[in-house]
Structure formats: structure tokens, C-alpha cells
Amino acid sequence: MSNIGRRDALPIPPTNAEVKNTVCQYCTVGCGYKVYTWPVGSQGGLAANQNAFGVDLRNPQNPLGGLVYTETMHSIVTRRDGRQYHVVIVPANDSPINYKRDHSSRGATNAIATWSDARATKERLKYPLLRLGDQFQVITWDEALTILAGVAKGIRDKDGNDDNIAVKAFDHGGSGAGFENNWGVGSLFFKGFSVKHIAIHNRPAYNSEVWGSRERGVHELNYDAIDARVADTIVLWGANPYETASVFYTEHMQPNIQGATLEEKQKNFSKGEPAEAGYLIVIDPRRISSLTIAETIAKERTLHLRPNLGTDYILANAIARVMWERKYYDQKFLQTRTDMAKFEEYKEKSLKAATPYAQFMADVERITGVKRADIEKAADWIAKPKAGGFARRTLTIYEKGIIWNMKNYDQVAAIVQMAVLGNNVGRAGTGCGRLGGHQEGYVRPSSPTPGSIYNGGPPVNVDKYLTDGKGKLYWVIGTNPYLSTPNSQYFRKRIRERTKALSDFLGQAGEPGPTQELVAKILEGLDATGGLFMVVQDLYLTHTAQDAHLVLPASAWGEANQTSVNCNSRLLRLYEKFMDPPGEAKQDWEICKLMGLKMAELYRAEGKEKEAARFEFGKNWRTDEDVFLDGGNSYPNNAIPASEEATLPAECYKGVTYAFLRQVGQQGIRTPVRIENGKPVGTLRRYSVKFGTKDGKFSWYATDDWEGYPAEVAKYLEGDMAQKYPFWMTTGRAQAVWQTMYNDRFLPEKTSLLPMPYVEISPQDAQRLGLKNGDLAQVWNEEGNATFVVMVTDSVSPGLIFTMMFHHLGSANNLTPGYTDPKTTIPWYKGTRVAIRKIRGSLPDLQDTTSFLQQNKFD
């Protein structure tokens, strides 16, 4: 009846099942989960004392709080002892994040995403693979690392530096990464090698996505989940938490909008301060589900602003200008907590205080397309003092709609400045930061680029470096740039051309059999062809890996002990190992350690002791915790008073051990961690006393004027091009597969829901172009092409379409421009111009099996 096998009974964990604490591997929210494992062949009973849940299963569970155990929360895995084990992964009942065992459709599939040769995840990589005779052939780790170290050493011996060694690697938590693997990767490339051509998983450079905030003294993770429950107003700017941080929305924002958190508000507010149900402002070109749900609850307390693409920073400055005009600020706060010399510049250039208000607002209306009355209403909801003169409490949350916008630096800076002008950072119910995508777990030696163009940057665009024909070794770790990088169609073609050039060279007269001869021929071929030796280290044979020369199998979440923090509370917890990795797959830190030791071996053989020692960074790492502690020691002294927390890196966990984390379990500890009386103490909310600058004062910045669109997009706005490419396109992801598609592309439970990437188009445009739900459409521009299935929806307004990124059958990034913000090298993934046409004919099977009901309609 349905497309996937369903179940009507699940195994019950017996009382002697192993129980582990973990956190969902996927999104920023980091919901707590419990894992139960036991050998196949036994089961527990229904009575509470007969099962490991300790729950009476004889009667149905109570909705909203009872045990949650759904069909996707069970699977069977094989361990290295050769035996089969049941694995049950259910939402924890003691998490401060996912109250009442709430969970998303993604976290609920952690169990079926585990590796098994008997299920869809049999696609996991087990052994190292070497391209030989234009086919992947299995080799050992020793052989793989001998080849890789030989090539890397050959390149640096010749060059005398690491300029031709290019890397693209994850820098996040969760997803099988975490502090341990970040420290491993960072140690290899920054302690062993001195790599400067390195890029982060989702962008072409090694940079922060929010230098516009950090360089003001505000790290992007500064609020706690509780702030969403007690805020007077929540601003969602280019962020759609219902789909990308679902439980943060349903357990922390939705109850606020429903007025269900008044008691908590009163507890956190000053005496006599008014508390009422929360207001929500959504600033987004689309009518996103986070907005339309709130409209269903309380239309009169929601406001939607739809700025023209790229104009958000002008809008943020305009809201701030209204706040300035209406005196929605605390002069004393500005004077004591912020840099007033820089404030004058901000007032002059960002707020344009010298331009008459009416003229200023008319200019803003013209640029942004947002009505003055709505801008003023937003300012009132954000910062107008409450009855009794109490400062309003507004939590401003932004994400990729701002980060992956045009002019990344100015967009982020404008929003955080708007928040600080209203004294909306560092108090209960306030904060200004990222929603987050994945979890975090960054701990690394110093990286090559200290900051934006104002602080030693901008960083190198490694995509451009490679597509320009530079670099010899390209090592990709835990990311799939063939789908994810901007202008990916061009990137893919160029990397394929360069890797194939080397493969063809190696194939002439046959690839040499002996290892050293193969290494020598690779080095010779790199010089002779301008080719690229590509190494991919990942869970699966990704699109990128299919063009690699060497593939290294990495282990995943649950296959080792790992640690990460979530984004909405900086909550550090231990994610306990509950199964073995497939075959000989290894943790990234271990691969990096072994690569380092192999490099050291090669240098030592030549008597180069000093070089050898550089690469022995991991010689004492035996366990996951060894790496965690080694990384933790790299943080500065944290035995400091609470008032100095702003001086610490946001993820500082120095002094925390696995034993401590086991003890605190799901309660975790909030980073940055300080040491008080020898014990680790967390930080609930940041910047209550000082900001993260040298003098502790918020550092204002004068944003640029509106200068129109960058050349890569502006070319589509003139003359014939404007006719040929008549639509604006914005991009994003979807609820069912948010942050999960590395596994979900293999799971029928998910591929059956989103068999293809989709395009959203307005009813008016759809009618004009003869498009209806379930049709196929091609979308194209000069950068590239992609095929999407059509969804007609009022989410987008006429003239704008939305397309899905990162789907394994095609990604919107084929069409995105190569533009990056000159201040930060962050791309604009979410805006360009395109043409769209119906592909003739149809796919009845797709139409019969896929839902095309409108995803943002809840009334």
C-alpha cells in the first residue's frame, strides 16, 4: 500500500540491554537520545520491570510525553564480534532541549541510518580504494597512506612549501565529526602541514560565516534555548526553524507564541515587568512554514517582511534608524558597553542620521520593496519599551538567508548592530545569533586566515585556485563539493578534467605496480599534465569521490565516542559509541594521526628529524578521549570569573573530561566552560557584562551604501539578458532531508518523500508557463542547468522561484554564481537570475507516488 515496508510490532529492549546516552547526529538543535542495544534472539516484556525502558507497555502511551518508539527507531546491526544486535534509538526523556521526548522526522531515523550490509546503508565504504585501470580497487590502509604520504611529501619536497596541497574539510560538530575529529584534522593540516589552501565543507574558503558579528565582539552562539521561550519578540531573519531546527521551534518558540510560557517569563523578568504571549517577525522572501504556523496561532502577533533579494542589510539599518528616531535605546548602555567613537560613524553611514527621515525611508522602500509602515512596526515590536518603561526583550535569530546572502559581512553586521542598539544581547529573552545548521565542535590550531578584510583577510578562494589550474593534491574530507559548492557545474567539470588528465597519464603504458614507482609516476604526471590527485575521505562513495584517485573510509556517528555542542544553548554532551564502523573504516582523527606518522616515517628515513617530529602530533592518541583532552588543552586559561566569559572562545571546554560528561548526561555543560574552585562551570548566556573585544566594548561598523548587484548577477538584469532570464531564484533545503542527505539519499523512507529536487513557483507564474504540480521543469542560466519537479505554492511571490540545494539528483548550486563577498569570501548561494521551462511529457509514476500538497498551508 505504501512505497516502503511498514511494521506493526517492534522488539522490546530487555532489562539487560546496554543503554547509552547520545545526541542526534543531524541538525543544530542537538536533541537528546537514548540508545538501547542487545543481541538478536531475546526480547524484553511489556511490564515496566521487564524492559529496559522501564515503561509499562501494556497500555498505549500518553500523547505528548509518553515513550516515543516509532518504526524508524529500530534496526539491526552487526558488530565486529560477528553477532547481530538490535539497536533502538529513541528521544531521551531528560533533555533540556527536546522536552517531552519531542523529535524531528530526521532524528527519528537515526536507527535506520546505521550501517548494515542488509539494509540501504550497505553503501557505506569499508576499505580504502585506489583508482587503478580506471576502476576502484581495494587496498590496505598501510598501502593507501604510503601512496598518499609519498605524493604529499614529493609535492612539498619539490615546492619547499604546502601551497599545492589543497584541502576541503568539515569543521563542524555532530554528523560523526565533533571536537575529536576537528582536532585531528586541524593538527594534520596546521601542525604537520602548513596548509593555506584549505576550505570549509560548505564554502570555498577557510573563514567564519559571521565575521560581521564576531568582529563586533559578538560570537554568533550567545543565547540559550530558554531565551526563545521568554522573549517578548522573536525575529527570524533568513531562518526557517520549523524545518531546519524543528524541535527548537516546536518546544521553545511555538509555546511562546501560544502564550504557554508566561510563568517562565515572569520568573525571568524584573518585578512588575509586563509579560504576554510572544510576537514573531519573519523576514524572508518566502512565506515559510515558521511564519504560516505562527499566523495560524495568532495572526495579529506575526509580521512578515519580504525584502528584495540582497537588500536585507539596508532593511536592518532602516529598522535601526526607526529605533534611533523613536529613541528605543538606552543611552547609558550605549555609553558604557559600546565604543561611542565608532558609534558616530555607524550613525552617520548606516543609520544616515543626517538624511531627513522621510527621504531616508523613501529610499529604503525603493531599494528593499518593504513598506515604511511595516519597517516602523518591526522597530516597535523589536525595541519599543513596554508599559512601565521596561526594555523590550527581543531574540534575533538569523541563518543562511543572511549568511549566504549578497555582501555577507555587511548583512550580518547590520543585524547584530540593530540588536545591540536595542540592548537586545546578554539579557534573558534576548540575543542575536545564528539559528545554526549542524552542531559545532571546533577546536583547532591557529588557521591561516585571522579574519575579514578588516582583520588580515580575506581568505583564499580555494575553488577558484583549483579551477584556475593550481594545486596538485586535493584532499576532500566529509563533504561533497560536486553538489554543494557555488557554481558547482563549472567546478565539477574542471575538477573532473584535471583528475582525468592525471588518470590518463597514469594509464599510459599501464599504472606501475610497485608503490614507489606509482608515487613517482603520479608526481611526474602532476607536473606533466597540470592534473590533480584527488583524495576523498567520507562515509560513502559521494559524487565527488567518484572522480577521486584514492578513497578513504571514515567512521560515522555512533561508531565512536564523540563530543559536540548544539547551537541554541552551546550544550556540550558526550555522544557514546554503540556500534562498530563498517569494515576498516576509521575515525577522521585516527586517519590524520596515521597519515602524520607515515609522513614522519618518510622524513625520518631521510634523517630529517625536525620535519618528522612536526608530523608526530598524534603519537600519544590512543582513545577518542585522548584527542578530546589534547584539543581542550589548546584553549586559553579559563580559570577566570564569570564577568570575563567574553574573553573565552565560544566552544572552550578546557577542564571537561569524558567522566564529567558521563556524569552530567543529557544535562551537559554550556560552553564556554570556566573553572571555578577546580570544577567546570558553564555559561548560560553570553555578553551580559562585556563583549568579546579587547576593550570589552561592542565595536560598531559603518556598512556600505546600497550599490546594486555584483557583476555576476547584474549581467542578468540588463537588455536582452533580462528578457532571457526573467526570474529571480532563491535556494534552500527541505524539512524531511535537512542536514541528513548524506545518509538519506539511501533511505527509502526519505527518498520516497522527495524523489527529486523541487522548484517552488507562484500560482500566477505557473499558470502563465503552463506548469502544474508534478511537472518537470528545467531551470537554467549561463552558470548551469538543473531539473526540478514543480510545486505550485504561494510561498514564493510572482517573479521569484525557490529551488532545492544538495539533492543527490541535482542541486540548485549548478546555477549559483561564483561571486563571493570580497570582505569574507562567503558565497551568495541564495540569489541569481534564471529562466524556467516545462519539460514536455510527464512522469506519471512520480505524480502518483509523491505528495504535492502545499507545505506552508496549516489553516
Partner 1 sequence: MVLSRRRIVQVLGGVTMASLTGAGKAQFWFAPSLTYPAIKVGNVNSLKNNDPVYFNYPDARSQGILVKLGRPAIGGVGRDRDIVAFSAACTHMGCGVQYKGGRFLCPCHYTMFDPAKAAAVYQGLASTGLPQIQLGVAQNGDIFARAVNGLIWGRVKNI
Question: Do 830 and 730 meet the contact criterion of CB atoms below 8 Å apart?
Answer: yes
Rounded Cα distance between 651 and 775, Å, is: 47
Q: Which helix (H) or strand (E) holds 526?
A: helix 515-529
Minimum Å gap between C-beta 46 and partner 1 is: 8
Q: Quick one: how far is CA 146 from the chain centroid?
A: 33
For the stretch 684-718, what's the b/e string if a residue is b when 16 or more beta carbons lie within 10 angstroms of its beta carbon? ebbbbebbbbeebbbbbbbbeebeebbebbebbee
Residue 507 burial (CB < 10 Å; 0-12/13-18/19+)? middle
Among 241, 136, 821, which Cα is nearest to 545's? 136
- DSSP letters of 266-303? HHHSPTT----PPEEEEE-SS--HHHHHHHHHHGGGEE
**Residue that the C-alpha cell 590527485 belongs to:** 533
Dihedral sign, Cα of residue 42, residue 46, residue 52, residue 53: positive
Minimum Å gap between C-beta 266 and partner 1 is: 25
Q: Find the DSSP H helices in 762-814.
A: 763-769
Minimum Å gap between C-beta 19 and partner 1 is: 17
Closest to partner 1 by CB, 290 or 683? 290
Closest to partner 1 by CB, 325 or 794? 794
Among 630, 412, 439, 461, which Cα is nearest to 22's? 439
Minimum Å gap between C-beta 54 and partner 1 is: 14
Closest to partner 1 by CB, 244 or 544? 244
Closest to partner 1 by CB, 290 or 452? 290
Minimum Å gap between C-beta 56 and partner 1 is: 11
Vertex 441, ends 19 and 214: CA angle to 5°? 145
Rounded Cα distance between 188 and 741, Å, is: 28
**Residue that the C-alpha cell 504540480 belongs to:** 773
Among 300, 304, 313, which Cα is nearest to 259's? 300
Closest to partner 1 by CB, 40 or 639? 40
Minimum Å gap between C-beta 10 and partner 1 is: 5
Among 378, 379, 240, 333, which Cα is nearest to 731's? 240
Minimum Å gap between C-beta 41 and partner 1 is: 13
Minimum Å gap between C-beta 70 and partner 1 is: 5
Minimum Å gap between C-beta 163 and partner 1 is: 47
Q: Which helix (H) or strand (E) holds 789?
A: strand 785-792
Closest to partner 1 by CB, 246 or 467? 246
Question: Do 826 and 203 meet the contact criterion of CB atoms below 8 Å apart?
Answer: yes
Closest to partner 1 by CB, 107 or 310? 107
Closest to partner 1 by CB, 63 or 160? 63
Minimum Å gap between C-beta 847 and partner 1 is: 10
Phi and psi angles of residue 509, each rounded to the nearest 5 degrees, phi first: 60, 20
Minimum Å gap between C-beta 652 and partner 1 is: 33
Minimum Å gap between C-beta 59 and partner 1 is: 8
Closest to partner 1 by CB, 461 or 856? 856
Minimum Å gap between C-beta 64 and partner 1 is: 5
Closest to partner 1 by CB, 202 or 290? 290
Give bridge partners of residue 132 from the DSSP assignment.
135
Closest to partner 1 by CB, 46 or 362? 46
Q: Which residues bind partner 1 (CB under 8 A)?
A: 1-3, 5-10, 12, 46, 57, 59-73, 100-105, 108-109, 242, 246-247, 250, 254, 289, 293, 296, 735-736, 749, 752-753, 848-851, 853, 855-859
At 198, list the grid cell.
Answer: 584549505
Closest to partner 1 by CB, 191 or 287? 287
Q: Which helix (H) or strand (E) holds 74?
A: strand 74-78
Closest to partner 1 by CB, 702 or 843? 843
The residues, ordered by sequence, that sit 6+ positions from 357 with a Cβ below 8 Å of its Cβ are: 321, 325
> At CB < 8 A and 24+ separation, what contacts does 504-510 make?
504/529, 505/529, 505/531, 507/133, 507/134
Closest to partner 1 by CB, 421 or 736? 736
Q: HSE of 314 in the Cβ direction (CA atoms, 13 Å)?
A: 24
Minimum Å gap between C-beta 20 and partner 1 is: 20
Three-state DSSP at 251 gives helix
**Residue that the C-alpha cell 529536487 belongs to:** 757
Rounded Cα distance between 235 and 320, Å, is: 14
Rounded Cα distance between 214 and 824, Å, is: 12
Rounded Cα distance between 435 and 399, Å, is: 5
Minimum Å gap between C-beta 811 and partner 1 is: 21
- DSSP letters of 196-207? -EEEETTSSSS-
Closest to partner 1 by CB, 707 or 848? 848
Closest to partner 1 by CB, 733 or 833? 733
Closest to partner 1 by CB, 27 or 169? 27
Minimum Å gap between C-beta 788 and partner 1 is: 17
Rounded Cα distance between 352 and 705, Å, is: 10
Phi and psi angles of residue 446, each rounded to the nearest 5 degrees, phi first: -55, 135
- Laid out side by side, the sheet with 197-200 consists of 135-138, 129-132, 550-553, 533-538, 473-477, 165-169, 197-200
Question: Do 322 and 350 meet the contact criterion of CB atoms below 8 Å apart?
Answer: no
Question: Do 110 and 578 meet the contact criterion of CB atoms below 8 Å apart?
Answer: no
Minimum Å gap between C-beta 243 and partner 1 is: 8
